[in-house]
Amino acid sequence: MIENILTLLGIYFLCWFKFLAGPLLGSAAGYSVLVNALVTVAGMMTSVTIFTLLGSKIKALLKGNFQKKPRLIFSKKSRRIVHLWRKYGEIGIAFFTPLVLTPIGGTLIMVSFGVKKSHIYIHMLWSACLWAVVISLSIDKILSVPFLQNSLL
Q: Which domain holds residue 59?
A: 2-152
CA dist 116 to 41, 57, 78, 120, 123, Å? Answer: 20, 16, 21, 6, 11
Q: What is the pLDDT of residues 51-97, one digit of tens each?
A: 998 877 776 776 665 555 555 567 787 788 888 888 989 999 999 99
Q: Phi and psi dihedrals of 102, rounded to 5? A: -95, 160
3-state secondary structure of 101: coil
Write the CB contacts of 129 (distance below 8 Å, at least 6 apart in sequence). 37, 41
Closest CA to 114 of 55, 50, 71: 55
User: How many domains does the chain fold into?
Assistant: 1
3-state secondary structure of 1: coil
CA dist 90 to 104, 110, 138, Å? Answer: 15, 7, 26
pLDDT of residue 66: 57
Q: What is the pLDDT of residues 98-152, one digit of tens each?
A: 988 889 989 988 988 889 999 999 999 999 999 999 999 999 888 776 665 555 5
- pTM greater than the 0.75 cutoff: yes
d(CA 133, CA 21): 13
